[in-house]
Amino acid sequence: MNDTAWALTWAGLLGLLTGSFLNRLIHRLPRMLQAQWEALPSAPSPAEPSYNLLVPRSHCPECLQTLKWHHQIPVLGFLHLRGRCAHCKTSISWRYPIIELVTAGLFVWVFAQHGWGFQAWVWAGFAAALVALAAIDADTRLLPDAITQPLVWSGLLAASLGLSGVLLSDALWGAAAGYLFLWSVFWLFKGLTGKDGMGQGDFKLLAALGAWLGWPALLSLVLIASLTGILAAMVLKLRGQLAQGGEMAFGPCLVLAGLWVMVWGPLPQVIF
């Protein structure tokens, strides 16, 4: 293989490893936050087991048996186990290898576009954060501040250092306008219906996308996310999986829009 092929191979492997970490983050971060919210004001008992991104070791959520190292190899471990726990034979979700493969694909694209400089690393981090947010929101209807807020600030910082290719003024107005747009939609909908149309995490996610992609991309982001949301709602309704009241997670739609604009750019102006 030539140097380019080797570089992209390493990018794919790095993406697979990152995707494996994202699977752990997606599973554990909501549970860590829930434990914090439910914690009593008193200090935790010294006997209480630690639970964070490092401990305990990876294990089957059903039988609690610790996984062996070769069971955790991205994609290959899943295939080797044939999609079932080695101990209790409980089915393992296909989402685990899908997250790993999607992250690997995004990393290959990023490093093919930007080489191996700092710009590639910051865009790879942006893509990985979006993948995690989409999966967490799909599972829990939660977009954690622990990811969305650093994503906003890192977008502004990347713009100020010239790493994102977006002018700092465009990034700043993108963050502000993105947040204020969905904030306004939220309060307008609430005033008309008396119901919450979306969570505040969606405001912060669109602000982060605006910070990374600039305010000129906001119209494309909103249009793509809205169309994706409509199509997803239709599919869920046909399958009988749409929640009562038509509620669904909007974060994955925003993430898809953000990745679309990152890869292909804003929609052509003729569409508008």
Tokens of 106: 């995004």
pTM: 0.91
Burial of residue 270 (CB within 10 Å: 0-12, 13-18, 19+) is: exposed
Per the listing, tokens 């044939």 go with 82
Task: Using the predicted structure, report yes or no on whether residue 3 has a pLDDT greater than 80.
Answer: no
52-82 pLDDT per residue, tens: 888 888 877 778 778 788 778 899 888 888 8
Q: How many CB atoms lie within 10 A of CB 183?
A: 16
Helix-then-strand count for the chain, H and E: 9, 0
Range of weakest confidence among 23-37, 53-67, 229-243: 53-67
- C-alpha span between 263 and 109 (Å, rounded): 8
Segments making up each domain of the chain, as ranges = 1-33+48-104, 117-272
Please give the pLDDT value at position 39: 66
Q: Which amino acid does the sequence have at 143?
A: L
Q: How far is CA 114 from CA 108, 165, 256, in A?
A: 10, 11, 21
97-115 pLDDT per residue, tens: 999 999 999 999 999 999 9
CB 96 within 8 A of CB 23: yes
Tokens of 47: 């006997």
